[in-house]
Structure formats: structure tokens, C-alpha cells
Amino acid sequence: MAVGRSDTLQELITILETMFGETIIGSDINLVKHLFYSLKADQREFPFDYEGEKLTSVVEEVSEDTLVLYVPYLQPKGILRAKISFEILNILYQFEVVLLDFWEDHVRVKIPSELQAAAFRKNLRVAVDDLFMNYVILYRSLSGGERELGKNLSVEQRFFHLMKEIKKDNPSLKLINLMVTEYILGISKDYEIVFFGPGNDGGFFGDFVKKYNRSIYVPDCSLIKSYIGEEKDPYLANFRDEYLSLIQTRGQAKADEFFRELQKEEVRNFLISYIVTPIRLFNDPIGYVKVFSTAMDKFSIVQQQALYIEELGDILTYALTKVYIRQENFRNEKAVTRILDISMNGLLFEIEDGRTFNYLKQHNIIKMFIPISERNLVLRGEVVRFLEVGNGKYQLGVNFFDSNPDDMVFLQHYIFSKKMRILFE
């Protein structure tokens, strides 16, 4: 519901009328309609908050007292109100709108008759078209999000030197490989590290890892239940899902025969137990680590050791993804990082790599390197806004929370000079 004009809103209206002259003098609804005409002319995307679901919308039509908005993936839920917000001329607006009609990713809404909420930005944001950046993800946990008191803290303590290397801006993959190998040798001298590539699909284990994207643990190769029995461990699985899938497609007898033959082959190769864990780039399996024990070793890989190897796989996945993001940004056209606008609070940047976009939703604390004139700004921030804008492009908004000494002062001078050039053009 609209509210009465506060002194601040009245002052805002007076300023806007001064800036635009007679075109928007009059009632609030004329002012509001001009805001939506501006959004339509620029084809500006803005947030559409419907029942807690954050969508993106575009103005397609402005009528006498209604708007038609294009809102992809909009699903009517029986509620006839939504919130929209946008920025024009460094002023933030927010409205609650009444929804009149829905059809095929479109919605007709009633134009608000009064200004509801508006505020000037404290820090000026300027659009840029010649600014690029490189960045690196900063460690908070292996899975992203908040630091976990359980698994991830214990991982940091157990693999202290490895995690110390990985947390660097430019970790060495050669050193990481040596460290991972040493950790594996602490469990068993028998292991394989396999990466998929031309002529190497990883065989049976490669197919399984690609299909299910999780670790396989067989504690005792002499027992068929180790292969297909019910397991309750949240991190370690066996072949039961594949067994059930074979039953559905080929029948019970064929499924039993397949895993009996697999068991016999591994027993003939003197296997006692093994753990196979995926190596991923982003969330896509690109290989696996297999650690096993044989009859000559006279020991079995127990569950705790299997979890240890599974954690190593997660660490290696994180390291490979971090190095890929860091080193490939400027070498791969699909990962070019272009800054769209910047302020003292944050920036909006654009990429063309969907995998990186989705990965940053979890690992959203980043360190940015922005070359401006003779200086390379180093800023740290949190990615808080994610937009899929179509044509294979993705936009991400960052809030700054830290910087190298004096970099914010240099950024302030840059923004001021950039704004002055725009005003004089």
C-alpha cells in the first residue's frame, strides 16, 4: 500500500522535476510512469520478488495504468502481490505492485499511483566499458558457504600443510600433487590416479564415477554384500544403485552375474579392499583416485581411512578448480571477466562461463585484481547477486569488505574522474 509523501520523498520529487523539467511535473503516477518508460527504453533488467522467489524481469509495455513485465520462469502461486526494485540516476526505488494477469512468462501489473520508497545511493556507481579484472576464490570451506564446525575444520587440521598451500593466491599444482601422494602413501603403497582424456575413459570405474559422481568403498572383496549390500554412510557408497539399475534394465539374474564376475576378477587380482573417489573440475568428474590393499599387504582399508581418501579427493577438486579460475580467466574467451559498473561499495562484473557462475554461488568470497592506470587494485569481496542475462552471459554483483592499503582512495579518485568525464562529454 502506498504511503504519504515524507519530506525526503518530496525533496526527491522536487530534485527530479528540476532535472527533467515539465515532463514529469504533476502527480506521482506520472513520475512513476516515466520511471518505467525509462526501464523499457533501456531494456533494463531488475529484480522481481514473488513469494520469496527472486526472479528477473523486463518492462515490455507501459499502458495508461498497467505494465506488462516479462518474467522468465514465473509460476502463479495464488498471491497477487510482488515487490520490484531498480535504480535510475543513482536513486534506488522499491515498489509493491498488484498482479492482474499471468500468461507464458508474462504478468500484467497495476502501475503504483504513488512513490513508495526511494533513496539516493551513498556511493556513486559509474558504468565502465574498458575495465577488466582477474580474481581468485578465497577459502571458507571445501563445500563453500559458511565454515562448518565439523568436517571442514577437521580437514584443515589433518591436512595442514596442503591446505596452507591451497589457500595461496597462486598455489603450485606440482607441490600439491607431491603432498597428496605423500598423504595417500600413508594409507597404502598401492594406488592409481587416473585422469580422463582421449583414449582413456577410465574403464568401469570411470563410467561409474561419471554416472554417479561419488566415492565407492568396498571394505571386503570376499563378500558380495560389500559390493551390493545396503549402505548408510553419507559420504561412501558401493555399487548398490548400479546393481538396482541393472535389475531394472537386464533383470535380476544378469545383475547378479555381473557383480559376481566383478568380484571374482578382483579376488583373482588379490584385492582385499579399495576406495575410489572422484577428482572433479567444478562439479564435473575428470578422473579418480583409487587406493587399494592386496593379499600381500595383509591389511584392509577401514572406513576411517576411506573417508580420509575421500577428503583428499575433495581437496584436490577444490585446488584444481581454484587454479583453473585463477589461470584461465584471461586466457580463455569464455572466462573473460569484464567489469560493467563500479562504486566504493562494490562492482558488477560479467562472465561467459556457466560452470564458474554456478561454482561462485557456493564459493562466493573472492579476491579481485583490477588494473587501473599504473596501479593494480587488490580488493576482497562477497558475491551477493547472480543474474543469467541470456546469450551465454552471466552477471555477478560483489560487495567489497577489504582492500590493500590506499587502494580505496585510488578507487575513489578513479570513480570521481570517470564521472567528471561523463558529465563533460
Which own/partner contact pairs does 221-224 have at CB distance under 8 Å and 24+ positions apart?
221/263, 221/266, 221/267, 221/271, 221/272, 221/273, 221/274, 222/267, 224/259, 224/260, 224/263
**pLDDT, average across residues 392-396:** 90
pLDDT of 298 reads 84
pLDDT of 26 reads 40
More confident residue, 224 or 332: 224
pLDDT of 321 reads 93
Confidence tier at 55 by pLDDT (50, 70, 90): confident
Confidence tier at 307 by pLDDT (50, 70, 90): very high
146 vs 13: CA distance, rounded Å: 42
pLDDT of 150 reads 47
Confidence tier at 4 by pLDDT (50, 70, 90): very low
pLDDT of 204 reads 92
- Is the pTM of the predicted complex or chain greater than 0.75? no
317 & 191 share domain: yes
Tell me the pLDDT tens digit for each residue of 187-244. 999 999 999 988 888 899 999 999 999 999 999 999 999 999 987 777 899 999 999 9
- 105 is in which domain, residue-wise? 24-121
In a domain, residue 191? The reply is yes
pLDDT of 23 reads 39
pLDDT at 334 over 60: no
Per the structure, the count of domains in the chain is: 3
pLDDT at 152 over 90: no
pLDDT of 3 reads 45
What rounded mean pLDDT belongs to the chain? Answer: 84
Tell me the pLDDT tens digit for each residue of 15-38. 655 554 443 434 566 778 888 888
CATH number at residue 391: 2.40.10.220
pLDDT of 418 reads 77
280 & 226 share domain: yes
In a domain, residue 38? The reply is yes
In a domain, residue 395? The reply is yes
In a domain, residue 158? The reply is yes
pLDDT at 1 over 50: no
319 & 369 share domain: no
pLDDT of 90 reads 60
pLDDT at 183 over 90: yes
Confidence tier at 155 by pLDDT (50, 70, 90): confident
Domain boundary (329, 354, 384) is at 329
In a domain, residue 3? The reply is no
